[in-house]
């Protein structure tokens, strides 16, 4: 069974149809990378999967359950489906530990006595155990983004969504964040990521999805897709991304 099932999803903002019938399945443990030009609907699709946006028609299921804004357990659902954005969104007035433990404490996932250990565990997984008592402003952009990822991991998600998480970083900081994501992929996390990092897409993803004008235009294993694009739209996108 697919972990994520997307069936003929349509979404319109005002008069603009942004998703024009998107269907996509993602299996457990799969790493799916979504590529495509700006405005092709990639972020909107990710936000629909997390119920941050509602769909106009069609259906999204995660772990077999219909996703929509009125889910009775929307909060718990969002914990199982972590999302990391381009902007780090750490709370500037809270130290790293508190940034990470706030949500799991609030939701009762952990008690006070387990908070420090949980923060240590997830920070170790992103290589930042020594920053547990730092303030966000003391960290580089790459470190902040890794804390943002650790904060998601603290909720023990079943699925992670990443929307261009390296796009706002200085080039020399991109690699460390990609490395963390690659390690998560190897540990079996199911991930859907929007990225401009073609090297990452090529080397880490099981499948590439090329979105164009609100549709899944082409998809397949990276080797095939990059070497033999079937449509002129994908061929021209690959050429421009080099």
Ligand X SMILES: Nc1ncnc2c1ncn2[C@@H]1O[C@H](COP(=O)(O)OP(=O)(O)O)[C@@H](O)[C@H]1O
Kindly tell me which of 43 and 101 has the beta carbon lying closer to Mg ion: 43
Stretch of 40-48, 196-204, 210-218, 227-235 lying at the interface with Mg ion (CB under 5 A): 40-48
Per the CB < 8 A criterion, the answer to whether 112 and 189 are in contact is no
Per the CB < 8 A criterion, the answer to whether 128 and 146 are in contact is yes
The structure tokens 């019938």 sit at 21
The conformational region for residue 108 under phi > 0 = left, psi -120 to 50 = alpha, else beta, is: left
- What are the C-alpha distances in Å from 142 to residues 22, 79, 137? 32, 23, 12
| Rounded Cα distance, 97 and 100, in Å | 5
Kindly tell me which of 41 and 82 has the beta carbon lying closer to ligand X: 41
- Chosen residue from 38, 113, 187, 240 binding ligand X by CB under 6 A: 38
Stretch of 36-44, 62-70, 117-125, 175-183 lying at the interface with ligand X (CB under 6 A): 36-44
Subset of 39-58 contacting ligand X (CB under 6 A): 39-44
Cβ neighbours of residue 213 closer than 8 Å, sequence gap 6 or more: 20, 40, 41
We find the least distance from the C-beta atom of residue 129 to ligand X, in angstroms, to be 33
Kindly tell me which of 38 and 113 has the beta carbon lying closer to ligand X: 38
We find the least distance from the C-beta atom of residue 69 to Mg ion, in angstroms, to be 20
We find the least distance from the C-beta atom of residue 167 to ligand X, in angstroms, to be 11
| String marking each residue 2-21 x if it binds ligand X according to CB under 6 A | -----------x--x-x---
| Rounded Cα distance, 123 and 146, in Å | 8
Q: Which does 82 bind (CB under 5 to 8 A by kind): Mg ion, ligand X, none?
A: none
Cα atoms in the Cβ-side hemisphere of radius 13 Å centred on 103: 20
We find the least distance from the C-beta atom of residue 136 to ligand X, in angstroms, to be 25
Where does this chain bind Mg ion (CB under 5 A)?
A: 42-43
């Amino acid at each position: 069974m697919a972990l994520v099932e997307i069936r003929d999803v349509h979404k319109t903002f005002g008069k603009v149809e942004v998703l024009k019938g998107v269907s996509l399945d993602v299996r457990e443990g799969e790493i799916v990378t979504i590529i495509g030009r700006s405005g092709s609907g990639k972020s909107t699709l990710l936000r629909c999967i997390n119920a941050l946006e509602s769909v106009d028609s069609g259906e999204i299921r995660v772990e077999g359950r219909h996703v929509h804004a009125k889910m009775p357990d929307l909060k718990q659902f969002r914990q199982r489906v972590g999302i990391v954005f381009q902007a780090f969104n750490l709370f500037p007035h809270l130290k790293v530990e508190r940034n990470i433990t706030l949500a799991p404490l609030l939701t009762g996932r952990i008690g006070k006595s387990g908070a420090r250990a949980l923060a240590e565990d997830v920070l170790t997984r992103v290589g930042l155990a020594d920053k547990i008592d730092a303030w966000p402003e003391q960290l580089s952009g790459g470190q902040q983004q890794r804390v943002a990822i650790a904060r998601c991991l603290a909720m023990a998600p079943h699925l992670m969504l990443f929307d261009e998480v390296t796009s706002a970083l200085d080039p020399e900081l991109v690699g460390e964040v990609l490395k963390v994501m690659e390690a998560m992929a190897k540990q079996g996390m199911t991930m859907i990521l929007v990225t401009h990092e073609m090297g990452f897409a090529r080397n880490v993803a099981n499948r590439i999805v090329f979105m164009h004008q609100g549709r899944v235009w082409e998809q397949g294993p990276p080797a095939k897709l990059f070497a033999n694009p079937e449509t002129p739209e994908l061929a021209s996108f690959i050429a421009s991304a080099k």
